[in-house]
A and B are shown apart, each in its own frame.
Chain A
Amino acid sequence: MYQFLYNLIGNEIIAGLLVAVVPLTIILVFALFGIWLERKVSAHMQDRLGPMRTGWHGWLQTVADLMKMLQKEDIIATDADKTLYNIAPVLVFTGSFAVYAVIPFSSKLLGSEVEIGLFYVLAISSLVVAGILMAGWSANNKYSLLGAMRAAAQIISYEIPTALIVLSMVMLTGTLSLDKISQMQTSSFWNWNIFGGAIFSLSKFLLIPFMFVGALIIFISTLAEVNRVPFDIPEAESELVAGYFTEYCGMKWGMFMLAEYGNMFAVSAIISILFFGGYQSPFGYLGNTIGAQWLVPFEQGFWFLAKGLTLVFVQMWLRWTLPRLRVDQLMTVCWKYLIPYAFINLIIIGIISIL
């Protein structure tokens, strides 16, 4: 994509900016769609209808809400630390947006082809923690601070099982590049990493159960990293009003929402790349069959979005199924269950992959 634009325009800066616009658009559109989907899913799971009156089945509801949010007065509490208070939402959104720099949406649409994509994703998400701490502390509100502390503790804890599973996948595939991992799982869903990868041998069948365990663990731990129910104790409405963004309003609050939905899709994308073949089609491409090569990247984009949205749907499904965990339960799940399982999984996958 970058190369194509660079050849087309001949200017590095403009080409780079244009490439950056694509994931931004995807985040914005996804946030609009995701919030609507969340409302509809929650409503239908509770035998309600949800928004119905703005457009067909209320699909314009989020747009209307956005309009409302943009018009709101920007209130800053008198005792808040104004500089940090204003920087924090931008930092949080930057953290979730920066992840998209390395995510391959299709074989032709990937921001940066860095070799260390996975490592980058793990690292850049720490920016979100700093932003959340900043937001919570600068608002000078006890609920904000409690939420921020909880969020930081939770995200840092759950980064460990995530990193362990990522590590086991790196051991298996031998690369940190998200694009290369996607390319390895080509041609059929049987070659996806969740079914043991593309190399057909005994170890493939031995790997399958451990891959399922790995996918489950990384799904749970990334769910906790994006602060979604049942791991939403940082923003627990019934205890902390809204957690670290209690004091925010208008578009600054909107930035936190954007970041949350951006993160949701980002972690779903990472899981789908690691385990479900990324942008690869599960059956083969229509473009190859009918001889239209230009169709293939679009199909890949479709499959990528489909996989990502399916995982987002599962996240929402879980949200409307489970109650919130207590803080000690949250830490128990992470340190006493997920990390030991992830370690054992890591060792077993290591042994199998050198067989």
Chain B
Amino acid sequence: MNFYDIIFYIFAAITLLSALFVVTTRNIVHSAFYLLFTFFGVAGIYVLLGADFIAISQILIYVGGILILLLFGVMLTNKITNVEIRTGTVHMLPAAIATGIFMGAVVAVMVWTEWKSEPSVIPLTTTKDIGHLLLTDYVLIFELLGILLLVALIGAASIARRDEE
């Protein structure tokens, strides 16, 4: 077991433990903050896989964007100064069945798929390649995503300004 394996297990433990806390804690704000560590653990694993650009994107988008949005949402929809924001569990049985089936499907896929394993070559820079691919092979998807985000932005702005009429 070398140094990078230890780091990998640390990141994996952080990810799994904090994900467990996200699910089990009864305080919504706590679970939102535990999500931060989950995202970080995942980013760390991306770094170990040599995908530095994706790791940083993970932090920028999930921690800097989605998590903050989530926190704002949680804080603004509840009584804002209350530390005792709680959540409960309902419909235990259907939830257990649904997650059981999903888990089974995932495990089945993991077991029965024939994984192609090659000796990994860590690419020195991924950023340039990603940029090239985005603007050549995947340019249509890239543009469509851009338009989708623009539409969402305009929609959000129009909803926010509606009461001024």
A residues near B, CB below 8 A? Answer: 12-13, 79-81, 83-84, 87, 114-116, 119-120, 122-127, 129-130, 133-134, 137-138, 140, 142, 145, 149, 152, 156, 159, 176
Contacts and interface: CB of A to CB of B under 8 A. Distances in A.
Given A116-B52, A119-B60, 19 more contacts: A81-B30, A84-B29, A84-B33, A87-B33, A115-B52, A119-B53, A120-B56, A122-B60, A123-B59, A123-B60, A126-B59, A126-B60, A126-B63, A126-B64, A127-B59, A129-B64, A133-B71, A137-B29, A140-B83
A164 to B, nearest CB: 15
A80 B71 CA distance: 18
A91 to B, nearest CB: 8
Nearest to A142: B81
Interface of B: 3, 29-30, 33, 36, 52-53, 56-57, 59-60, 63-65, 67-68, 71-72, 75, 80-81, 83, 124-127
A81 to B, nearest CB: 5
From A13, A127, A129, A137, residue with most partner B Cβ within 10 Å: A137
A137 B75 contact: yes
Contacts of B30: 81, 83-84
Contacts of A126: 59-60, 63-65, 68
A145 B52 contact: no
A79 B83 CA distance: 8
Contacts of B63: 123, 126-127, 130
B50 to A, nearest CB: 12
A115 B125 contact: yes
Contacts of A125: 64
B52 A130 contact: no
Contacts of B68: 126, 129-130, 133, 152, 156
A34 to B, nearest CB: 26
Contacts of B127: 115-116, 119, 176
A163 to B, nearest CB: 9
The B interface, classified by DSSP as helix, strand, loop or mixed, is helix
Nearest to A11: B3
Contacts of A12: 3
Contacts of A138: 83
B44 to A, nearest CB: 12
A79 B82 CA distance: 10
B83 A123 contact: no
A334 to B, nearest CB: 16
A119 B56 contact: yes
B5 to A, nearest CB: 12
B56 A152 contact: no
Given A123-B60, A123-B64, A140 B33 contact: no
Nearest to B3: A12
Contacts of B75: 137, 145, 149
A116 B71 contact: no
* 10 nearest A-B residue pairs (beta carbon): A126-B64, A123-B60, A123-B59, A115-B125, A123-B56, A81-B83, A126-B63, A140-B83, A119-B56, A12-B3
Given A81-B83, A137-B29, A116 B72 contact: no
A327 to B, nearest CB: 16
Contact of A130 (B33, B60, B126): B33
Contacts of A120: 56
Contacts of B56: 116, 119-120, 123
Nearest to A159: B64
A263 to B, nearest CB: 15
Contacts of A133: 68, 71
B142 to A, nearest CB: 16
Contacts of B125: 115
Given A115-B127, A119-B53, A134 B33 contact: yes
16 contacts: A87-B33, A114-B52, A115-B124, A115-B126, A116-B53, A120-B56, A123-B56, A126-B59, A126-B63, A129-B64, A130-B63, A137-B29, A137-B71, A140-B81, A145-B75, A176-B127
Nearest to B71: A133
A145 to B, nearest CB: 6
Nearest to B53: A116
Contact of B67 (A84, A119, A124, A130): A130
